[in-house]
C-alpha cells in the first residue's frame, strides 16, 4: 500500500492470441516456433541425451531417470488430475518387474513382448488390488497405497516365494544398449504427450471433476469409482512399464524393486517440477536423479544436500520450475501507472 | 473511527476495488450493498487485512498477483501495514462469509477459541452475553459445529467474533442462505449488539431490504466502485436504489 508510487506491475499475455486452448491461428514462422520450440527442445534434448553422455555409467543414469520420470508422470496424473495422492509407485514398479521376470524366465517370452504385457497385466493386477481403497481420499489413500509395497515385499521374503530374498535372476537383457535407452526415452515421450492429450479429452474433464467435487460427479449420474479405477489403471500401467524395463535392464528382479525410493522420489520431482503440469515432474526427475548420482561421492551427506534442495524449493518456489517457467515464457511484465 | 481512503485492489489485471472511500464512526452501523462480484468481500478482506495474507499465499504459489493500494486509518493510526492478527487485536474483527465456523468443535469450544486472546473475565462476560442474545446457542452448547443449521451457524459465527472483543465488527453477508424469519431475528440481534456493546458494525449484503432499517449510513458498490452513498433516508428516496436493492418497483407505488 504505497501512496507515493502509484504504479503497479501488470502481466500481459505474450505471443499469439489463442481463441480457445488448443486452437491456434498461426501467421508466421515466428509464431510457429514460439509454440513448437519448448516441445522441440524437450523432444530433441531427450533424444540427444544418450549421444551427449556416452559410457556405461551415464547410460544407466539415463535409463533410471526415465523410469523415475514415468513414475513421476503417473504420480502427477493421479494426484493433480484425479485427486488420488498415491505413494504406491514402488508397488507398481515391483509388480511390473516381477511380472516381466516371470514371463521371461518361466514362459521364455522375449523383452519386446514381456514389457508391454507386464504393463497391461500389471496395471490390471494393481488396479484390482487397489480397488477396495478407491473410495478413500486424501491422506488415507496415501497411507494405504504406501502399505502395499511394504506388504508385498515382506510377503515374498517371509514365504520365500518368487525367489525369496535372492529375487529372480537370469532375465534376458535388451539386445543392445542403444536400443535400451531409446526404447525407454521413446516410451516416456509418447506417454508424456499421450497423458497430456488424455487430460484434455472428455474423460480427462470427468477425472478433474472427480478431483474437485466427487459429489457433483455422482449427481451428474457418473460412477466415480469406475473413473477412479480407470485412472489408477492408466497410472499403474505406466509404473509397471517402468518396472518391467528395470527388470530387463538389470537382468534381475528382487524385493528391492519395492523400495520406497520409487514412491518418494517421484513426489519430490513433482514438487520441484511443478505439480499439475505433467512436463514438470519429468523435468524434476531430469534434475533430481542426476543430482543424487553426482552427490554420491559425499556418501551419507548426500541425503542432507538432497533434503536441503527440496526444502529450499518448497519454501521459496513452491509453484515449481515448470509453472514459473511457463509464466515467464507466456507473459511479460511492465509497470503501469494507475 | 475507521476510515479507508483510496482503496484499490487489483487481482492480476482486474480491478476489484476502485478508489473506495469508506468511513465508519463510533457506534454506527454501516451498510455496504452490491450484487455478486461488486467487491463486497474484497472490501471486507482488505479492511480486516486478510487480503495481505491471500496476497502472500498467491505470490508463494505463483498464482495471481494482488496489488493493494490506499490507506486505512483506525482511531487516527495508519494500519495499512498491519497483519490481520494485529488488526484483530486492535479490535477489527471479521465474521467471514459462509460462516467458516470450526466444524469439528462444539459450540462452546468454537466460542472459546474466539475468545482466546481476551482476558478470562472478559471472555466470561461475553460468553454470558452471547448466550443471552442467542439463547438457541446455549441449548446447543455441546453440539458439534458442523451439525448446526445455517441460522445457528451464523449465530455461532457472530458469537465467536464477539468473543474476540471487537470494537468494529465486520459482518460479511451474514444473511446468506437464511430464511426471512431468521434474517429478521439476526438483524435485530445485530442492532442489539451494536447498542449494548457500544461497537460499530460494517455489514455487507446483496439484498438491502432486511438490513436497511438498522443502518446509519450506506454505500452501494457496483463493479468495484462506490456508485452511491448516503444516509438511510437519502438512499431510500432514490428510485434506482429502490428498484435495484429493495425490489420495489415504482409502478406499485
| B81 touches A: beta carbon within 8 Å | yes
Percentage of chain B beyond pLDDT 90 is 68
pLDDT higher than 80, residue B82 = yes
Cβ neighbours of A31 (radius 10 Å): 14
pLDDT higher than 50, residue A2 = no
| A327 touches B: beta carbon within 8 Å | yes
| A276 touches B: beta carbon within 8 Å | no
Q: What is the average pLDDT across B70-92?
A: 92
Q: Report how far apart, in Å, the C-alpha atoms of A130 and of each of A214, A217, A262, A328, B217 are.
A: 18, 21, 18, 40, 60
- Nearest CB to A8: which of B67, B70, B71? B67
Would you list the DSSP string of A70-123? HHHHHHHHHHHHT------HHHHHHHHHHHHHHHHHHH---HHHHHHHHHHHHH
Shortest Cα–Cα distance, B70 to chain A (Å): 6
Residue A25 — pLDDT band, cuts 50, 70, 90? low
Q: What is the average pLDDT across B64-85?
A: 90
Cβ neighbours of B42 (radius 10 Å): 21
Shortest Cα–Cα distance, A318 to chain B (Å): 6
- Nearest CB to A1: which of B13, B63, B70? B70
Shortest Cα–Cα distance, B45 to chain A (Å): 14
pLDDT of residue A68: 94
| B14 touches A: beta carbon within 8 Å | no
Q: How many domains does chain A have?
A: 1
Condensed to tens digits (0 to 9), the pLDDT of residues A29-38 reads 877 888 788 8
Question: Which are the contacts of B131, defined by CB distance < 8 A and separation ≥ 6?
Answer: B137, B138
pLDDT higher than 80, residue A198 = yes
Condensed to tens digits (0 to 9), the pLDDT of residues A245-304 reads 999 988 888 888 888 888 888 988 998 888 888 999 999 999 888 888 888 778 778 778
Domain CATH for A158: 1.10.3470
Contacts of A10 in chain B (CB under 8 A): 12-13
Cβ(B202)–Cβ(B30) below 8 Å: yes
Q: What is the mean pLDDT of chain A?
A: 86
Outline where chain A has alpha helix (H).
Answer: 29-52, 56-81, 89-107, 111-130, 138-159, 177-198, 202-212, 214-219, 224-250, 261-273, 279-294, 301-316, 321-330
pLDDT of residue A69: 95
Cβ(B7)–Cβ(B72) below 8 Å: yes
Contacts of A7 in chain B (CB under 8 A): none
Which residue in chain B has the smallest CA separation from A335? B13
- Nearest CB to B12: which of A11, A319, A324? A11
Q: For residue A253, what is the enclosing H or E element?
A: strand A252-253
The pair phi, psi for residue A24, each rounded to 5°, is -120, 145
Domain containing residue A274: 2-337
- Nearest CB to A1: which of B10, B12, B80? B80
Given the C-alpha cell 517440477, which residue does it identify? Answer: A273
Interface probe with A: pick from B62, B71, B79, B224, most Cβ of A within 10 Å = B62
Shortest Cα–Cα distance, A288 to chain B (Å): 21
Cβ(B201)–Cβ(B215) below 8 Å: no
pLDDT of residue A95: 93
Cα(B208)–Cα(B212) distance, rounded to whole angstroms? 6
Cβ(A7)–Cβ(A338) below 8 Å: yes
Condensed to tens digits (0 to 9), the pLDDT of residues B175-204 reads 988 999 999 999 999 999 999 999 999 999
Contacts of B61 in chain A (CB under 8 A): 318-319
Question: Bigger pLDDT: A5 or B132?
Answer: B132
pLDDT of residue A17: 56
- CB < 8 Å from B in window 2-61 of A: 2-3, 6, 8-12
Burial of A300 per CB tally in 10 Å (0-12, 13-18, 19+) = exposed
Residue B147 — pLDDT band, cuts 50, 70, 90? very high
Q: Do A318 and B81 touch (CB under 8 A)?
A: no
Given the C-alpha cell 519395492, which residue does it identify? Answer: A258
pLDDT higher than 80, residue A129 = yes
pLDDT of residue B250: 58
| B11 touches A: beta carbon within 8 Å | no
Contacts of A318 in chain B (CB under 8 A): 60-62
- Nearest CB to A9: which of B60, B65, B68? B65
- CB < 8 Å from A in window 137-166 of B: none
Q: Do B81 and A1 touch (CB under 8 A)?
A: yes
Contacts of B80 in chain A (CB under 8 A): 1
Cβ(A149)–Cβ(A88) below 8 Å: yes
Q: For residue B6, what is the enclosing H or E element?
A: strand B2-11
With vertex at residue A39, the alpha carbon angle to CA A208 and CA A71, rounded to the nearest 5 degrees, is 50
Shortest Cα–Cα distance, A99 to chain B (Å): 41
* C-alpha neighbours within 13 Å on the C-beta side of residue B207: 13
pLDDT of residue A20: 57
Least Cα distance to A70 among A247, A248, A189 occurs for: A189
Residue B253 — pLDDT band, cuts 50, 70, 90? very low
Cβ(B194)–Cβ(B201) below 8 Å: yes
Classify residue A8 by its DSSP letter: E
Q: Left (φ > 0), alpha (ψ -120 to 50) or beta: where does A14 sit?
A: beta
Cα(A114)–Cα(A106) distance, rounded to whole angstroms? 11
Q: Do A3 and B60 touch (CB under 8 A)?
A: no
Interface probe with A: pick from B60, B64, B72, most Cβ of A within 10 Å = B60
User: What sign does the CA torsion over A231, A235, A237, A240 have?
Assistant: negative
Cβ(A243)–Cβ(A122) below 8 Å: yes
Cβ(A100)–Cβ(A154) below 8 Å: no
Q: Do A318 and B61 touch (CB under 8 A)?
A: yes
Q: Do B62 and A3 touch (CB under 8 A)?
A: no
Shortest Cα–Cα distance, A239 to chain B (Å): 29
Cα(B183)–Cα(A312) distance, rounded to whole angstroms? 50
pLDDT of residue A3: 45
Which residue in chain B has the smallest CA separation from A5? B69
Q: In what order do the strands lie in the sheet with B225-231?
A: B92-95, B168-172, B200-205, B29-33, B217-222, B225-231
Question: Which are the contacts of A56, defined by CB distance < 8 A and separation ≥ 6?
Answer: A177
Question: Which are the contacts of B240, defined by CB distance < 8 A and separation ≥ 6?
Answer: none
Which residue in chain A has the smallest CA separation from B11? A10
| B60 touches A: beta carbon within 8 Å | yes
Q: What is the average pLDDT across A118-142?
A: 90
Percentage of chain A beyond pLDDT 90 is 33
- Nearest CB to A324: which of B8, B62, B81? B62
pLDDT of residue B238: 85
pLDDT higher than 60, residue B251 = no
Amino acid at each position: 500500500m504505497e501512496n507515493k508510487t502509484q504504479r503497479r506491475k501488470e502481466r500481459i499475455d505474450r505471443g499469439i492470441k489463442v481463441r480457445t486452448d488448443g486452437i491456434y491461428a498461426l501467421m508466421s514462422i515466428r509464431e510457429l516456433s514460439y509454440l513448437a520450440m519448448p516441445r522441440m527442445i524437450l523432444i530433441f534434448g531427450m533424444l540427444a541425451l544418450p549421444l551427449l553422455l556416452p559410457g556405461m555409467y551415464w547410460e544407466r543414469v539415463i535409463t533410471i531417470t526415465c523410469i523415475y520420470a514415468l513414475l513421476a508422470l503417473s504420480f502427477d496424473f493421479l494426484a493433480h488430475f484425479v485427486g488420488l495422492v498415491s505413494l504406491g509407485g514402488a508397488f507398481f514398479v515391483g509388480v511390473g518387474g516381477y511380472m516381466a521376470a516371470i514371463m521371461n524366465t518361466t514362459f521364455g517370452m522375449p523383452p519386446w513382448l514381456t514389457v508391454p504385457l507386464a504393463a497391461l497385466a500389471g496395471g490390471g493386477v494393481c488396479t484390482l488390488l487397489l480397488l477396495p481403497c478407491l473410495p478413500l481420499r486424501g491422506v488415507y489413500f496415501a497411507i494405504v497405497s504406501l502399505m502395499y509395497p511394504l506388504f508385498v515385499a515382506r510377503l515374498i521374503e517371509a514365504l520365500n516365494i518368487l525367489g525369496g530374498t535372492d529375487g529372480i535372476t537370469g532375465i534376458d537383457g535388451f539386445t543392445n544398449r542403444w536400443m535400451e535407452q531409446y526404447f525407454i526415452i521413446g516410451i516416456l515421450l509418447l506417454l508424456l504427450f499421450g497423458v497430456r492429450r488424455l487430460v484434455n479429452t472428455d474423460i480427462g474433464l470427468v477425472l478433474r471433476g472427480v478431483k474437485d467435487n466427487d459429489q457433483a460427479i455422482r449427481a451428474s449420474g457418473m460412477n466415480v469409482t469406475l473413473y477412479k479405477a480407470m485412472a489408477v489403471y492408466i497410472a499403474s500401467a505406466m509404473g509397471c512399464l517402468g518396472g518391467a524395463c528395470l527388470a530387463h535392464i538389470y537382468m534381475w528382479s528382487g524385493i528391492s524393486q519395492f523400495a520406497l525410493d520409487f514412491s518418494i522420489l517421484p513426489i519430490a520431482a513433482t514438487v520441484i517440477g511443478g505439480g499439475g503440469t505433467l512436463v514438470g515432474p519429468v523435468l524434476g526427475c531430469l534434475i533430481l536423479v542426476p543430482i543424487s548420482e553426482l552427490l554420491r561421492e559425499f556418501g551419507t551427506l548426500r541425503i542432507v544436500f538432497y533434503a536441503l534442495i527440496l526444502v529450499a524449493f518448497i519454501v521459496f518456489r513452491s509453484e515449481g520450475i515448470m509453472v514459473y517457467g511457463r509464466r515467464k515464457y507466456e507473459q511479460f511484465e511492465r509497470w503501469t501507472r494507475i | 473511527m475507521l476510515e479507508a481512503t483510496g482503496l484499490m485492489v487489483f487481482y492480476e489485471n482486474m480491478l476489484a476495488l476502485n478508489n473506495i472511500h469508506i468511513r465508519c464512526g463510533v457506534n454506527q452501523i454501516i451498510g455496504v450493498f452490491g450484487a455478486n462480484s461488486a467487491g463486497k468481500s474484497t472490501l471486507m478482506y482488505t479492511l480486516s487485512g486478510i487480503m495481505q495474507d491471500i496476497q502472500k499465499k498467491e505470490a508463494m504459489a505463483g498464482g495471481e498477483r494482488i496489488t493493494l493500494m490506499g490507506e486505512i486509518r483506525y482511531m487516527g493510526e495508519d494500519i495499512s501495514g498491519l497483519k490481520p492478527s494485529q488488526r484483530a487485536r486492535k479490535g477489527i474483527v471479521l465474521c467471514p462469509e459462509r460462516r467458516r465456523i470450526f466444524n469439528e468443535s462444539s459450540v462452546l469450544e468454537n466460542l472459546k477459541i474466539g475468545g482466546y486472546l481476551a482476558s478470562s473475565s472478559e471472555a466470561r462476560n461475553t460468553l454470558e452475553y452471547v448466550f443471552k442474545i442467542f439463547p438457541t446457542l446455549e441449548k446447543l452448547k455441546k453440539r458439534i459445529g458442523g451439525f448446526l443449521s445455517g441460522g445457528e451457524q451464523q449465530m455461532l459465527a457472530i458469537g465467536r467474533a464477539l468473543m474476540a472483543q471487537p470494537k468494529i465488527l465486520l459482518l460479511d453477508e451474514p444473511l446468506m442462505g437464511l430464511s426471512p424469519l431468521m434474517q429478521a431475528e439476526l438483524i435485530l440481534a445485530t442492532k442489539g449488539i451494536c447498542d449494548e456493546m457500544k461497537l460499530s458494525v460494517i455489514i455487507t449484503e446483496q439484498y438491502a431490504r432486511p438490513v436497511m432499517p438498522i443502518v446509519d449510513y450506506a454505500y452501494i458498490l457496483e463493479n468495484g466502485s462506490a456508485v452511491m452513498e448516503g444516509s438511510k433516508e437519502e438512499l431510500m428516496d432514490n428510485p434506482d436504489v429502490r428498484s435495484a436493492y429493495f425490489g420495489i418497483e415504482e409502478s406499485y407505488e
